[in-house]
């Protein structure tokens, strides 16, 4: 599906499932497309890291600077409630 909507972008301290750092990290937020097994689920995609906030803002002027993190631990809410995972 093609859309003219540009997903929201955030600047925040880098944090994910396998990393945590003190760099200013830019993420793009969207929704997984129809061709993905995670179709319709939120998606956060790393774009870039910067040593300073000023550099991040200059490179991504429309990104929103936030305190905290938009990282959410992996969720399996899309699995059937009746599915036996053992």
Residues 6+ apart with CB under 8 A from 47: 9, 26, 27, 28, 60
Contacts of 41 (CB under 8 A, 6+ apart): 31, 32, 78
Q: Is the pLDDT of residue 1 over 80?
A: no
Mean pLDDT of the chain: 82
Where does the pLDDT of residue 50 fall: very low under 50, low under 70, confident under 90, or very high at 90 and above? very high
SS3 35: coil
pLDDT at 84 over 80: no
Per-residue pLDDT of 16-48, as tens digits, reads 877 889 999 999 999 999 999 989 888 999 999
Instruction: Tell me the per-residue pLDDT of 53-76, one tens digit each, with 9 for 90 and over.
Output: 999 999 999 999 998 888 877 654
Question: What's the pLDDT band for 2 if we cut at 50, 70, 90?
Answer: very low
């Amino acid at each position: 599906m093609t859309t003219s909507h540009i997903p929201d972008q955030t600047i925040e301290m880098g944090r994910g499932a396998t990393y945590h750092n003190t760099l200013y990290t830019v993420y793009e937020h969207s929704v997984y497309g129809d061709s993905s097994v995670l179709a319709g689920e939120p998606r956060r995609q790393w774009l870039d890291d910067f040593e300073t906030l000023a550099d991040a803002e200059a490179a991504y002027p429309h990104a929103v600077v936030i305190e905290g993190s938009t990282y959410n631990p992996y969720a399996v809410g899309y699995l059937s409630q009746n599915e036996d995972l053992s």
